[in-house]
Chain A
Amino acid sequence: MIFTRKWLSEWIDLKDISSEEICTTLNSIGLEVDSLTKIEIPKNVVVAKVLSCKKHPDANKLNVCEVDLGDEVKQIVCGAPNVQAGQFVAVSKVGAVLPNGMKIKEATLRGVNSSGMICSSEEIGLPKMGSGIMVLDDSIGELVLGRELSEYDVFNDEIIEVELTANRGDCQSVYGIARDLSVPLDLDLRKFESEDEEDQLGIGRVLNVNATEKVDASLLYRVCEQGKISSPFIIDLRLAIADLYRETPLDRVLEYATYVSGVLLRAYSHECFSDKNEKATIKIKKHSNKLDAVFDKKNEISSFIGIYQFEESKATLNDERVILEANYTHPEIISQNSANKNIESDRHLYLSSRGSEPNLDFGMNYLEEILKKSSEVKFYAGSQQVIQNFEEIRIPISLCELKELIGEEIPKNKIVQILKRLGFYVTFKNEQSVINVQVPQFRHDIKNAQDVCEEIVRIVGIDNIASKPLYFSEKNRFNSAYNSFMKRKMYRQRAVGVGFFETLHFVFDNKTRLEKYGLQTVYKKRDLANPITNELNTLRTSLLPNLIESVNRNIKFGKKSIRLYEIGTVFDKTRDEELCFGLVFSGFKEYPKVSNHGKPEVIDFFTFADKISQVIGSFNLVKGKPKNLLVSPYEYALIIQDGKEVGYIGRVHKQIEKDLDLYRTYVCEVDMKKLPFDRKIAKSYSKFQESSRDLSLMIPKKLSFSTIKEFIEIKAPSELVKFYPIDIYEDENFGDKISLTIKFHFQSSEKTLEDEDVNKFLDSTLKSLNEKFGITMR
């Protein structure tokens, strides 16, 4: 809702209240103020009158005008098509500086002198009002030639923009805002009274309303004869400020009356409902789609009530006789009946589905008043109506419960006073702690005691309620979610310690990309129905594509060593959720620095695996076949922890490295729930000295270390505590063998091992390796 201070003042007397206080109060009662801005018209912009207007001798589109500025008459060249002699206009005199920075100077336009500029609304900093120059009238006050525009009230105003919540249909009008604001400010709302006119003909001569079937809408009709309907400047300006400016004067007046009163108003051409000025019949009944509709003489739909009016039935300036309609339907009925109907709608649906003003008389009378003020119209006496019974809502309020809910006691008389001022009808017995409340019809949002409580709280002001700590019983709250949070946190921090950066990515992915990478995709029947873009048209089934994309992005930014991780949800093809841990490392192992002589090495499989083990703890790697095309089959392994497969590790496929201009890049994805998060159990350990030996062995190239490892493990004595490879060396002279150095650690739990004990073990191990695989010492 956009309105101005002066506009609001037409309904409540704000003269003693600052605009800041208005805004603070609006905020405190739940009408959130988005902005407060002052209208500022530059100096030297004055009221003027166009005395004459002639075509420019050398330019088709320009006019040469004689303009009366009060104390002088100036010649001004004007390019607007709507300029005419006799108009009152705003002129920027020579010396004025317009909001866009333009300075008005004496000028010559195609050989004709021009001293000043006749302005459009935008040129002096107002919103757009139609096209061409702005034409003033006395709706802003007496037009004094030469007077500064900024001296007029209407240009010396402040614009307030309020953001309404979906429940406050009653505040969708200037009147509604004033009504709500009058309560905390303790001001009287101006009563609107219409005057009856004499010598009117009765409406019965020209209109008959036929509503034989049951409908949901309440309707009120009046008829008027129009001479010429015009809309005064002040209405046009205010509509422009509220961003509701309409093309024709009749539409503007209707829009304005609706915007001020909150009542939905329409104008129909009388002809659509009658033959040759005879009595018209408006038929109101349910359309087959359940919506209330108005039907014309040909039995065609003129409008869906509260939703849309068809162009053909709209009154125009050519209609001598116009039917005016005020209507109201309960917002819940409108919402339910209009949903998923795929019918056209205009601004009325927005208003009616949130709750328009039910006081039809008020809206119609207000429209009549502004029409009579500015236009030649003659109303027929009386109205035709279809009125639905209003279901009264009565709510008993227990003061005790109210106190418990708010947390402090609000005096009963204050409660009663607040509710009455808000339009509630309140009854109670003095000695009882229950008051009975009847909800006014315009408050569609109030249905139960909690709603009424909110009314009291918002008028009292939440900031005026004292905060109090809650007393409650202790309870153990360490559940599985807490455990999962702590576990995630531990792994996240470990990854950070090893040099990885935590990232977040959308849980979406592109289906084509997933397929290209050979990753699973969610079944079509369970996939996203309304993706936001094609790039994000399905759910991700792996963290890695997004992580790899981020690597690519960072390389574009000039990064040379990129280490990222994410712990997040991925989906399988049945759309089941799983928490995964994805890590990626691309480019240099380290940043260039003194310790690596500025030439850091590029990440390799073993360094990456080492980093992963620093994050997720020790594991074994076993060879496997990749289940996707994301990784190279030659640098790929399954990660085994405690005999269980927890995920995989591998080099990004060369094709993807090429396509995305990646450095050498390694990835790892593990299943979070399979990672350990339990207490460690200490094992007993030997107190005797440990000895170690390095053995360089010649092994066949094709023999996997894991095979050798398994074999040694079976053969090994209990004194062999651990062994692991520490170096590989290849040489042309070795033929189809390579040299592999293994470090063996020996320790006994009974004694310090002698050299000969160790040698004996090694000899027997070597012997069996030789027998089995033909392995020799290098």
Chain B
Amino acid sequence: MKEFKNQIESCKSLKELEDLRVSLFGKKGFFAGEFAKMKKLPPEEKKSFAQKLNEDKEFFLNTLNEKKLHLEAEAIAYEMKKDGVDVTLFNQASEAGALHPVMDTMDKIIEYFVAMNFSIEEGPLVEDDFHNFEALNLPKYHPARDMQDTFYFEDGMLLRTHTSPVQIRTMLKDKPPIRMICPGAVFRRDYDLTHTPMFHQVEGLVVDKSGVVSFANLKYILEDFLKYMFGDVEVRFRPSFFPFTEPSAEVDISCIFCEGRGCRVCSHTGWLEVLGSGYVDENVFKAVGYEGVSGYAFGLGVERFAMLLHKIPDLRSLFEGDLRLLEQFR
């Protein structure tokens, strides 16, 4: 009996085990032979003989099954091992592409304002003088027009120098209250290390009947927005001048590179200028025929945000499809 046990244990393959099973439990196997012997035994011994034999049979069956499970598991493990690889051979270069950092930043900005219940508005790139300048309190010969070197077309139309004409179009199309942003490409005739003839802006406008929207509200949303974009930064408002807002303010954040101590990026001032904003000038409302309303507006350059957020040193590289830069955003 012990010998059988050893035989089972020493089986090295499922085939060997199957052969052994047949030799033990088959029709001509060991146990068939033993049970045949029973016929010759006296009746009083039959019972105990059978009982013993059944017990042995069950014992070996169990042992055999256990061994079978074991060998099966071994066989699977062997198969797996055969297929095994050196996982460290994996090449980290993913086949995926990437969103452009400027467009990705624009998405983030849009998502904030959508969550704050602003609508998105769009307008044409080719604009006329009224929507781009005149209605925005930039009459002809206004010195502030110098600030925006404009691309003109032969027929007097122009490429919008900011997304503000979309505000004018929206005010002409809708009635207050208005709560909108206009993201998009804008154009200025300027091309050097820090200027490209095309860049992207997101501007916002909130208008309601007089007395509802205050300068304090403008401060609230811009502070919240800048913290959403840049994390825990300090926000500073400086009075400034834009023809379409009055009072106007430029908004700075404490430098995210040196935490306000002063570095090359912030020209050692500790502050980074990121936004222009203000209370909408009454002449803008006059131009669109609104009365008894007030509101705020703000605008930002998306490239500047993207460059600050991702420490991108060269503005022009953003428009060259340069994979050395883009691959880093996978």
Contact = CB atoms under 8 A, between A and B. Distances in A.
Contacts of B198: 506-508
Interface residues of B, number: 87
Given A27-B238, A470-B221, A506-B196, A465 B246 contact: no
Interface stretch (B4-12, B66-74, B76-84, B112-120): B112-120
A511 interface: no
Interface stretch (A76-84, A254-262, A404-412): A404-412
Nearest to B318: A504
A132 B118 CA distance: 64
Contact of A405 (B100, B118, B190, B215): B215
A504 B104 CA distance: 12
B39 interface: no
B154 A467 contact: no
Interface stretch (B42-50, B53-61, B141-149): B141-149
B217 A469 contact: yes
Contact of A166 (B107, B144, B221): B144
Contact of A479 (B103, B119, B140, B323): B119
B214 A564 contact: no
A481 B241 CA distance: 30
A482 interface: yes
Contact of A485 (B100, B110, B152, B214): B110
Given A526-B153, A528-B151, A167 B216 contact: no
Given A496-B97, A507-B198, A569 B246 contact: no
Contact of A450 (B141, B143, B240, B247): B247
A467 B251 CA distance: 14
A406 B238 CA distance: 15
Contacts of A501: 97-98, 100, 321, 323, 326-327
B129 interface: no
A457 B322 contact: no
Nearest to B102: A504
B318 A405 contact: no
Q: Which of A454, A465, A549, A568 has the most CB of B within 10 A?
A: A454
A131 to B, nearest CB: 31
B154 A527 contact: yes
A434 interface: no
A168 B241 contact: yes
Q: Number of contact residues on A: which range applies?
A: 35 or more
Interface in B242-271: 246-250, 267, 269
Interface in A451-504: 451, 453-454, 457-458, 462-463, 465-470, 472-475, 477, 479, 481-482, 484-485, 489, 492-493, 495-504
A497 B213 CA distance: 43
A533 B321 contact: no
Interface in B202-222: 206, 208, 210-217, 219-221
Contacts of B219: 407, 462, 465-468
A501 B122 CA distance: 25
Interface in A98-148: none
Interface in B264-312: 267, 269, 279, 281-282, 294
Nearest to B99: A502
A547 interface: yes
Contacts of B322: 550, 553-554, 557
Given A506-B198, A508-B197, A532-B197, A454 B239 contact: yes
Interface stretch (B14-22, B28-36, B87-95): B87-95
Given A507-B125, A571-B126, 9 more contacts: A34-B267, A331-B143, A406-B214, A462-B238, A469-B217, A489-B107, A501-B98, A507-B198, A554-B323
13 contacts: A32-B250, A166-B143, A407-B219, A462-B219, A473-B177, A499-B95, A501-B97, A504-B102, A506-B197, A530-B151, A553-B320, A553-B322, A577-B125
Q: Which 7 A-B residue pairings sit nearest by Cβ, starting from the closest? A: A407-B216, A550-B321, A407-B214, A30-B239, A165-B241, A454-B247, A477-B119
